[in-house]
């Protein structure tokens, strides 16, 4: 019997939450089958089985477990036929395991999985794997075929009682995405014998805030909402940042007139991809980071870390949380490529299809609230990064030039720095370089 443990799905993941088992207990699992949906500190991911066998579930839906904790066992059909594989340690947890049926030989060895010795119990009377899931006869996909849907779409469908089998997906390859489920929930679904309104009470218990308190109190009734895994992680990391990082902030106003002219010229030329002003800021930061290694580093465990790659994270707000996807090697990419990547990443964040690798590896962060009319703000450093740039609104303002008042496009920025690695003068030089590039943006096109 092989043991499946909570996988590490991101570089900062310490624990994960079981959102949904995609296979039933006692069901035959083939190598490569989608096994379970796990919510990490970055996103909700579908974990695929590396081995075959009969599933015994140890961790229930909703359980939060540290990385490496057992979440399931796969029966001897996979472990006994693994051949010369088996890099993992030997399992000692088969004393209380349920009997399993024989499975076909699959010559695989699961990385990170734990195999048991050849003293597994004999097969028991478990029915052969005829139908993996009891799919409804009406509006169902082909027999044995699982509905293709994103993890977020599956969660919303489960909460709202929407049958995914009757939906038509608008995503790539017909995949059902969040918008498909929401539109189905907003309008009555086609009549189907399997779409019963019974799950409705469960929706209220999982999505509606819990009302507590007495009507006569000064605050009235109190609605409490449980934090998601991502929200909990953000709360903990931001509190740790404020409590442990000695932060100082530098402020500057950048004349963006040349950038406005550059972007207008790109629009007029019919360029297939026109970068946003935030894309210009990302590229300017990437150039300056390559020239100032300390700003592209970190203070970690009483050491300085300097990174050879310049990976700029771009903060994106979505579904009541904040996610920071990464533009890798931003200093080596052109404006058009950065613009295409940032748009694609933001869309994947909002659709819930972003993956942990796309949220990892950042060496610096840009956070922009200018689109909300915010002129300036102080961002919280994302540890262990050395700094974060907060970008405010770009707006026309009166300025003095050659003893005359003129109107120019101005933008305020604030650079929050970790004083343990970035000192005042070094941070000022770094910010001045960003300002210099944006005020003479010819370097952005090189």
> For residue 440, how many other CB atoms are within 10 A of its CB?
12
Q: Which SS3 state, helix, strand or coil, does residue 244 take?
A: helix
- List, as one string, the DSSP characters of 251-304: EEEEE-HHHHHHHHHHHHTT-SSPPPHHHHHHHHHHHHHHH-TTTTEEEETTEE
Query: Which residues participate in catalysis according to the annotation?
Result: 419
Q: Which SS3 state, helix, strand or coil, does residue 154 take?
A: helix
- Beta-carbon contacts of 128 under 8 Å, excluding residues fewer than 6 positions away, are 101
Q: Where are the beta strands (DSSP E) in 144-273?
A: 210-212, 222-224, 247-255
Query: If you search the block for the tokens 């904040």, which residue do you land on?
Result: 322
For residue 384, is the peptide bond before it cis, meaning its omega torsion is within 30 degrees of 0?
A: yes
- Beta-carbon contacts of 59 under 8 Å, excluding residues fewer than 6 positions away, are 6, 18, 65, 69, 70, 71, 72
Report strand pairing: 404-418 vs 247-255. antiparallel
Q: Note whether 394 and 409 are within 8 A (CB).
A: yes
C-alpha distances (whole Å) from 446 to each of 276, 336, 373, 441, 442 are: 17, 12, 31, 10, 7
Cα three-residue angle 140-146-151, rounded to 5 degrees:
115
Distance of CA 98 to the CA centre of its chain: 35
Paired with 113 in beta bridges are none
Q: How far apart are CA 355 and CA 352, in angstroms?
A: 9
**Tokens encoding 58:** 């140890």
Q: How far apart are CA 16 and CA 65, in angstroms?
A: 6
- List, as one string, the DSSP characters of 10-50: STT--EEEEEEESS-TT-EE-TT-EEEEEE-SS-EEEEEPS
Phi, psi of 222 (to 5 degrees): -110, 125
Can you give the length of the chain in residues?
A: 446
Q: How far apart are CA 63 and CA 19, in angstroms?
A: 8
């Amino acid at each position: 019997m092989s043991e499946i443990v909570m996988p590490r799905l991101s570089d900062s993941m310490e624990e994960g939450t079981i959102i949904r088992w995609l296979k039933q207990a006692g069901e035959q699992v083939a190598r490569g089958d989608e096994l379970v949906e796990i919510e990490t500190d970055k996103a909700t991911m579908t974990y695929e089985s590396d081995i075959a066998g009969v599933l015994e579930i140890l961790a229930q839906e909703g359980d939060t477990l540290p990385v490496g904790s057992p979440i399931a066992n796969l029966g001897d059909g996979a472990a006994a036929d693994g051949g010369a594989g088996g890099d993992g340690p030997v399992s000692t947890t088969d004393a209380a395991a349920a009997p399993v049926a024989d499975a076909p030989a699959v010559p695989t060895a699961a990385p990170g999985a734990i195999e048991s010795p050849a003293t597994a119990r004999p097969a028991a009377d478990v029915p052969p794997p005829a139908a993996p899931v009891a799919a409804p006869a009406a509006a169902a996909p082909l027999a044995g075929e699982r509905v293709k849907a994103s993890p977020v779409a599956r969660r919303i469908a489960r909460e709202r009682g929407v049958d995914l089998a009757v939906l038509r997906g608008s995503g790539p390859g017909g995949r059902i995405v969040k918008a498909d489920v929401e539109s189905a929930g907003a309008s009555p679904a086609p009549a189907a014998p399997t779409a019963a309104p019974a799950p409705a009470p469960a929706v209220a218990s999982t999505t509606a805030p819990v009302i507590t308190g007495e009507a006569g109190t000064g605050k009235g009734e109190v609605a409490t909402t449980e934090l998601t895994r991502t929200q909990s992680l953000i709360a903990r990391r931001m509190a740790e940042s404020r409590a442990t990082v000695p932060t100082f902030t530098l402020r500057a106003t950048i004349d963006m007139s040349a950038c406005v002219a550059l972007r207008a010229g790109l629009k007029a030329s019919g360029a297939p991809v026109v970068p946003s002003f935030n894309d210009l800021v990302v590229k300017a930061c990437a150039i300056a980071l390559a020239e100032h290694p300390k700003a592209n580093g970190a203070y970690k465990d009483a050491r300085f870390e300097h990174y050879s790659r310049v990976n700029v994270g771009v903060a994106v707000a979505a579904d009541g949380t904040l996610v920071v996807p990464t533009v890798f090697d931003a200093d080596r990419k052109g404006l058009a490529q950065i613009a295409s990547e940032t748009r694609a990443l933001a869309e994947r964040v909002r659709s819930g299809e972003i993956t942990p690798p796309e949220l990892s590896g950042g060496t610096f962060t840009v956070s922009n609230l200018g689109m909300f009319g915010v002129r300036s703000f102080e961002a919280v450093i994302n540890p262990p990064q050395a700094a974060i740039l907060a970008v405010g609104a770009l707006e026309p303002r009166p300025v003095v030039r050659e003893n005359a008042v003129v109107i120019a496009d101005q933008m305020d920025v604030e650079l929050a720095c970790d004083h343990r690695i970035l000192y005042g003068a070094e941070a000022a030089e770094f910010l001045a370089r960003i300002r210099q590039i944006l005020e003479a943006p010819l370097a952005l096109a090189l």
